[in-house]
Structure 1
């Protein structure tokens, strides 16, 4: 029982399991990586708090306990969790209209949305919905990140340049930009320019040092002496004490307004986390558990909310720092969290002089890496539908906001998927001179088999596309008979790609198709999944003796040509006056000398290829 409890504990806490197997030689790597991650995370967390619309101290809260929680519950050894541009932009977009300018209610909503996001993640983990990582396809996520990046950059222009802007949406900001520029505060703009130049300089000259931290220390020191004199806005004094939140005065009705946005935030955060975690796990040759990651993300967000932080996700930039320094385990997150906690409790006084223009530049600098139009252009050459989906996502995020944009992009993505399922591609197969089965080609290298249509439907058959499948086969038979004077005698269906589950409507339509073809003296053969089809048809019909089922296309074609050859031999014997002996299928196959093979390039691979034909050679 103790062993089972220990295994269950390690299943819930894969990070703890790794830490208990810690090797002494890893500590130096983890210590350096932890210090480096903390150096990068500190200024970024304060900047993202500004983006979210809360006090800078909340950004630090969002780093400490969530990082420790993920170190225990997460399965990735490199991933660093923390504030993220996309999650912060989503929170601000949702909470600002609901708070109506009340900062107390604003913080309440941020905390409640963060906790609800964590609860959604825990529910998804319990239901084993790790596959939801694939719901936001790469085109949608690429478009989302580009749209969020443009939104953040335009939103920070007023802080960087120093003008007052009343516009909240992108279009309004762009319209008002010419008039707003005229009110530029030149000391603020000068501070922003110096910050940007220092960032570029340190990035180039000392790429291994935390450029953002160094620059923020320099600008904070300068601001402490000159900001008040020239009117540069700073973060102001804040305390390391947790602000009292009066839950009794919270309006429960607002939870309804947060229900769907928190679900969207959970999905976006998880997908972003999984993309980062998978890429670094692949690089370092280990596997991660998607459901464990969902659980770890949920716990991290709940912990963040309870400690008055905001929603967190996988931080790709900080994870890259960890990996580049050579961090070995989740201890990196714990060391980084302790460093940030030290700053929170002992060094908060200097943080009041951080210049707001410098934070804006840091946000723009960090967000600039999210802009990736090159990937969208590549999609145009590789997949036009994916390209259109990515562009649509960018446009919708910019025009209607992050939450609505995500919803519309997912809806369009699902519609594209359904269109593929409703009207999938199809293939007609034939044989080349060597007897290999390929898709028919216009060059004539691959020709159709005499009197036979071999048909592949490139989608699982369901109740909403089986009627189309049936119409397509009947149309192909009609066209072939019209062109070649009733030549079709056999229709072979590749069951591997089409018949994946026992849909009642599909079985009924297959029976109708078989009868309609039989009325035209045409036989239908199902190739692949013989065991499953036998079971499904037996359940539907109680018997299936009149169905022609074969383990694969190879044996189906052998059967057809054996029957044709047997029939021809019997006709020849009749013409020669020989005694007509009954012909059996076994004798037909035994006398067959057909040389048909499956070509791997055509991906005709069947899981059941040997289930009923272990003793039949694949080459005759």
Structure 2
């Protein structure tokens, strides 16, 4: 018992540094089979993808596999996502090439050295940003953005594999141009390649149905490789991933290129941003799908650790790998152990199986990736957004189109920009309500939403559902004056529900004061209801106690209404006990009843005396 009590705090401290390591300490045996199968399947996809992305960035194919081993281990130890797989991806590879090509010739030792420096700096930036809490910037990535991003990634993956399935290369990017190119090149279809792809699709569809315990993706790729080797399909034009140099990477310390440090640092910051945003989007999406939460700051530091691990093992910058993460999820990966298994499988293949690896047909790999992409599409959420919030649906659609047409980073930035614009628009022009009472319902309710809501003549209860700040202060003042002008009979009191006003800046306070003065010129008293204690504390902190009488402030709307009725009773000469004072649930005064006197005449003492705050 004592040892367990001592171990728990130690594990909590360890979890703050290496969440994945704690997950291994608490590992459940029933997850082992699922993680092993998923890890092997991820490795089967990561191997050819790593080779392809290495070529995209201008490296030897082996460098792409080096970037898949130790980064997976580092992320498994420091990351909080159970499904995320890290490794080379198209966006970071393109940025690496664009950053280093002007500085060094492709294929030279200098080129590789600068790439490791770039990855190392990107990792340092991510870790530094995690310490100052910049992981919170991922909060701008809303659920519609996440859904749109994943749908866009799914479409991009599927379109990117079409040429591999048909046996010709697609040069265009986006959606429309690739489709046009596919139609134009359809006559160039290589039928043996298409047959391999269709056979792979058949296995991927039939195996889960008739042999659910068999890992469909792995069995499909193994079967395709055997068929290719047996019938020598590679000699008949069926493209395979080809030979891969054998051996594991040796550890090196990146050499800092001081003459190009300023350029590399700027590029590394951009790569760090892209890596984090892309990985976090993917991690959040799969965490939501599997019912758990991730820690954004720890994710940022984990991506940094993975990039540093890649740099130390002669790799290049990495990020979250969408297709491999989808494969991990589709094949049942449950914990970070799947990443360790994938790294071990890649290392094993690099040492012993680079020969058989060359027979894996690209068409079969494309079929597996298309099936993984299909699993990413979330139609249910799209339907819900369409029926519940058309604005959110538009943001989701913009994220999808942006990712497909502009690429993952630009698509994310476009969707976030639209979401921020929509947020500013909502806060700048928030909803407002005139309140009244409804028979059988407690409290005060919108007269617009409740047709039977009754307003007290001479009293205007106004709710502004937003902070009053610099970009909506003018709108608040104008709206309040319009409401007063449209109220009949003319109100004597204008009561602002301060509870709905969650904040006020300097511009907002000036707008409220200007509103009070203009209402006073019209013979209308300005009254606040709610947040009374907060306002008094603020006034005391700023040495402004002498102005507390300038605005009457009640703790609640009900207290303000009671004071209004009390003022009317005194004005009409009535003497009523406190128990007879009407409440919001009582019938409102008739239009023929006398209006209350102005606030400074009718109220000669603090009406909020005795009312708890």
TM norm. shorter chain > 0.5: yes
What is the DSSP-based 3-state SS (H/G/I as helix, E as strand, rest coil) of the residue aligned with 2:549? coil
Q: Which residues in structure 2 correspond to 1:434-473 (within 5 Å)?
A: 434=440, 435-441=442-448, 444-473=451-480
What's the counterpart of residue 222 of structure 2?
A: 217
What's the counterpart of residue 529 of structure 2?
A: 527
- Within 1, Cα distance between the matches of 2:117 and 2:557? 58
- Of residues 283, 287, 291, the one that matches 1:277 is 287
Name the stretch that deviates more: 418-427 or 123-132: 123-132
- Within 1, Cα distance between the matches of 2:115 and 2:369? 20
What is the DSSP-based 3-state SS (H/G/I as helix, E as strand, rest coil) of the residue aligned with 2:89? helix
- Of residues 552, 558, 571, the one that matches 2:556 is 552
Cα distance 1:408–1:420, how it changes in 2: closer, same or farther (>3 A)? same
Cα distance 1:43–1:474, how it changes in 2: closer, same or farther (>3 A)? same
- Within 2, Cα distance between the matches of 1:113 and 1:500? 44
- Within 1, Cα distance between the matches of 2:453 and 2:370? 57
What's the counterpart of residue 418 of structure 1?
A: 424
What's the counterpart of residue 191 of structure 1?
A: 196
Q: Which residues in structure 2 correspond to 1:372-391 (within 5 Å)?
A: 372-373=378-379, 375-391=381-397
- Within 2, Cα distance between the matches of 1:475 and 1:421? 19
Contact 1:42 1:213 survives alignment (8 Å): no
- Within 1, Cα distance between the matches of 2:132 and 2:65? 32
What's the counterpart of residue 150 of structure 1?
A: 155
Which stretches in structure 1 are left out of the alignment for 5+ residues? 574-586, 598-611
Q: CA deviation at 1:217?
A: 0.9
Q: CA deviation at 1:419?
A: 0.9
Cα distance 1:616–1:320, how it changes in 2: closer, same or farther (>3 A)? farther
Contact 1:161 1:188 survives alignment (8 Å): yes
Q: CA deviation at 1:373?
A: 4.8
What's the counterpart of residue 213 of structure 2?
A: 208
Q: Which residues in structure 2 correspond to 1:333-344 (within 5 Å)?
A: 333-344=339-350
Cα distance 1:10–1:93, how it changes in 2: closer, same or farther (>3 A)? closer
Cα distance 1:215–1:150, how it changes in 2: closer, same or farther (>3 A)? same
What's the counterpart of residue 37 of structure 1?
A: 38
Name the stretch that deviates more: 217-226 or 56-65: 56-65
Contact 2:248 2:350 survives alignment (8 Å): no
Q: Number of paired residues?
A: 568
Q: Which residues in structure 2 correspond to 1:132-531 (within 5 Å)?
A: 132-168=137-173, 170-225=175-230, 226-241=232-247, 253=263, 256-257=266-267, 259-260=269-270, 262-282=272-292, 288-307=294-313, 308=315, 310-313=317-320, 316-317=325-326, 320=329, 330-331=336-337, 333-373=339-379, 375-434=381-440, 435-441=442-448, 444-480=451-487, 483-484=488-489, 487-501=490-504, 503-531=505-533
What is the DSSP-based 3-state SS (H/G/I as helix, E as strand, rest coil) of the residue aligned with 2:358? helix
Contact 1:558 1:589 survives alignment (8 Å): no
What is the DSSP-based 3-state SS (H/G/I as helix, E as strand, rest coil) of the residue aligned with 2:503? coil
What is the DSSP-based 3-state SS (H/G/I as helix, E as strand, rest coil) of the residue aligned with 2:303? helix
- Within 1, Cα distance between the matches of 2:450 and 2:201? 60
Contact 2:532 2:555 survives alignment (8 Å): yes
Contact 2:127 2:304 survives alignment (8 Å): yes
- Within 2, Cα distance between the matches of 1:149 and 1:196? 17
RMSD: 3.7
Cα distance 1:529–1:52, how it changes in 2: closer, same or farther (>3 A)? farther
Contact 1:514 1:523 survives alignment (8 Å): yes
What is the DSSP-based 3-state SS (H/G/I as helix, E as strand, rest coil) of the residue aligned with 1:354? coil
User: How far does the alpha carbon of each residue in 1:56-111 deviate from its partner, in whole angstroms, 9 at most, with x for none?
Assistant: 655654543334323432345xx033148xx8243355456667794669877876
Q: CA deviation at 1:211?
A: 0.8
What's the counterpart of residue 134 of structure 2?
A: 129
Q: CA deviation at 1:474?
A: 0.9
Cα distance 1:99–1:373, how it changes in 2: closer, same or farther (>3 A)? farther
- Within 1, Cα distance between the matches of 2:77 and 2:610? 53
